[in-house]
Amino acid sequence: MSAHRDPKEKRYWLDDPANVTRLVRVFYVVCAALIAIDVFVPKHGPFAIEHWFGFYGFFGFLACVALVLIAKQLRKVLMRPEDYYDR
Amino acid sequence: MIGEFSPGLILILGALLVPLLRGRLRAIYMLALPVAAFAHLTTLPHGDLGIIELSGVSLTTLRVDKLSLLFSYVFLVAALICVIYSLHLRDTVQHVAALIYAGSAMGAIFAGDLVTLFIYWEAIAIASVFLIWASRTEDSYRSGMRYLIIQVGSGVLLLAGVLIHYRQTGSLAFGALGLDTPGGLLIFLAFGIKSAFPVLHAWLPDAYPRGTPTGTVFLSAFTTKVAIYALARSFAGTDILIPIGTVMAAFPIFYAVIENDLRRVLAYSLNNQLGFMVVGIGLGTDLALNGAVAHAFADILFKGLLFMSMGAVLFRVGTIKGSELGGLYKSMPWTTGFCIVGAASISAFPLFSGFVTKSMIMTAAMEEGYFWIWIVLLFASAGVFHHAGIKIPYFAFFAHDSGKRCQEAPLNMLVAMAVAAALCIGIGSFPDFFYTLLPFETGYRPYTLDHVVAQVQLLFLSALAFTLLMRTGIYPPELRSVNIDAEWFYRRAGRSLADGARMAAENGWKSVTHGIGRTISVVIAYVQRHHGPEGLLARPWPAGTMALWTTLMLGACLILFYL
């Protein structure tokens, strides 16, 4: 990638992998904090499951992991070469 | 009344003058059309207007009420934004087709009877296909053909349904219909095709990604939303819509995750958002219907914004495949920013439009006690953030740097995106005015502490899942590929079947023509034997012989007469 890049080109903050790692760590802390404040939020939803500790957070996490893993498996069944319909 | 004509006609008839104008004048004229339509709209009173008597049947061409007004506002805003977005184009066909298309959608919204609806329904199909064909590739031509067949087919079903319904009830009113009559069922199916019900949806991810960069923005705004409006008018509270909409909201997100063409990812996410609206219509409570139409309103803006940002990338870079993009935030910072606003809106982040509209549908599902429907919709909400909220901006503008450098989008595109982005934030941050436009008064409040916290938790931890899967390399990479969908049935299975039938027909025809050929050659040989150069009947005979034969024949007749 960087092999054919113009050396005079501006270096962006995100070009440094260390900065990306920093950003991701901040994000982890924010996620942890979001789950932690769940204790202080009074809940009003009609379904009992909503009142579980951090339900929405854990659900979102698991839903996305499941989505990606299932979609990855679906590729085996659904994926075809780009010119599939032209042959 | 002479002034009682549909505001859609201003766009349709106005479009016909566009070819006569050039340059700046054409730009100003096209911008003026939606404004003029809006000005006309403000003069109309509520009620059934523009009634035409046609051989004993009365047609209501202009029904003005809260529901039709809501859709007409967003259609006019969308038309204006799309016109701004396509101002740089020097393609008269696209300009004219797009305006007629937007006008027809407006006309359909204001239709008070099913015949008027049908006319605009077909006009939408025919005008919109030019935005796909305008890509001027073999691929877009074929895709446009498939699109046209399906769209016009939906119109034919609609017409059949309308005729049966009219014979049974004597009414042409475009109002609440049931599924208990064959007419109602056919109309439902016609609406279902256009609103991309599961299995009937394949035209959407097939055709939309093949439109021109600007044309697809128009396409995303109108066709499916007219169908949603029609469902809300005629089938509100129809139970079967709840499971249909839930499947619609869930299954396209799997496709969106593995799709490489980023505009097709958006087409799948459009399908997924329509699912939420269909569920809302199926639930049929005041809150749910408000949610469905409000979400349609918001979706036109944020999905348009996302399609505009991807259109700008396609326009500048020449490809929209995730596998070939990345790092474009350096070249197109403004487009990146607008795309992120669209992404936040579709993902329903607090302060963005999706948050104040989709939540009404979710809350209505809860209030009605549909636990599993709610769970699946929640899964779809996390999923939409995942593929439209993260995947689109990430693979286009960030990810690994593709090394591609280009110019920022043209100024007119940036202005159009800025307007859409401002509206997304405006609706999300100040929903009170927007709520007054909705058909029902529900007193719903989106900004409660538990709702905000729950939504932020859901979205942040979904993003966390993406981050972890990405950094561990589990996330499936973008690959150059197509994924087979329901279109397989007519593009592969149907084609094999058609090929087989053609072969059989060809063979049959061959044996028929062979048989005919043999017969013909036998006949010719026979004719040649008698009439050919050496044939008995073709010899030049002297006139005397002829006279002799004539005399003999006449003699024979004479004898026979006396016998």
**pLDDT tens for residues B476-530?**
887 888 888 888 888 888 878 888 888 888 888 888 888 888 888 888 888 888 7
Instruction: Report percent pLDDT > 70 for chain B.
Output: 98
pLDDT at residue B168 tops 50: yes
Q: Does B254 touch chain A (CB under 8 A)?
A: yes
For residue A75, what pLDDT is reported?
87
Q: Give the CA-trace dihedral at B237, B238, B242, B247, to 10 degrees.
A: -140
Element (H, E) at B482: strand B482-483
pLDDT at residue B12 tops 80: yes
Q: What's the rounded mean pLDDT across residues B309-337?
A: 93
How many Å apart are CA A53 and CA B297, to the nearest integer?
Answer: 34
Higher pLDDT, A2 or B297: B297
pLDDT at residue B471 tops 70: yes
Q: Which residues of B touch A34 (CB under 8 A)?
A: 453, 456-457, 460-461
For residue B516, what pLDDT is reported?
87
Contact B248, B275 (CB under 8 A): yes
Q: Do A63 and B462 touch (CB under 8 A)?
A: yes
Q: Which residues of A touch B463 (CB under 8 A)?
A: 27
Element (H, E) at B395: helix B392-397
Kindly list the distances between the CA atom of residue B510 and the CA atoms of A3, B135, B501, B520, in Å, as whole numbers in the listed order. Answer: 63, 40, 14, 15
Q: Does B519 touch chain A (CB under 8 A)?
A: no
Q: Determine phi and psi for B57, rounding to 5 degrees.
A: -110, 135
- Using one digit for the tens of pLDDT, what is the confidence trace for A63-87? 999 999 998 888 888 888 888 887 7
Q: How far is A87 from chain B (nearest CA, A)?
A: 10
For residue A6, what pLDDT is reported?
61
Beta bridge partners of A61: none
Q: Do A67 and B378 touch (CB under 8 A)?
A: no
- Residues 75-134 (B) with a CB less than 8 A from some CB of A: none
- Residue from A46, A51, A70, A84 nearest B258 by CA: A70
- Confidence tier at A2 by pLDDT (50, 70, 90): very low
Domain total of chain A: 1
Q: Does B449 touch chain A (CB under 8 A)?
A: yes
Looking up tokens 């989709």, which residue turns up?
B358
Q: Which residues of B touch A74 (CB under 8 A)?
A: 254, 258, 483
CB pairs under 8 A between A and B: 154
Q: Do B465 and A5 touch (CB under 8 A)?
A: no
- Where in B7-122 does DSSP place strands (E)? 47-54, 57-64
Q: Does B493 touch chain A (CB under 8 A)?
A: no
Q: Does B374 touch chain A (CB under 8 A)?
A: yes
3-state secondary structure of B173: strand
For residue B295, what pLDDT is reported?
97
- Confidence tier at B556 by pLDDT (50, 70, 90): confident
Domain that holds residue A68: 2-86
How many Å apart are CA B28 and CA B38, to the nearest integer?
Answer: 16
Element (H, E) at A79: strand A79-80
User: What ipTM was assigned to the predicted interfaces of this complex?
Assistant: 0.88
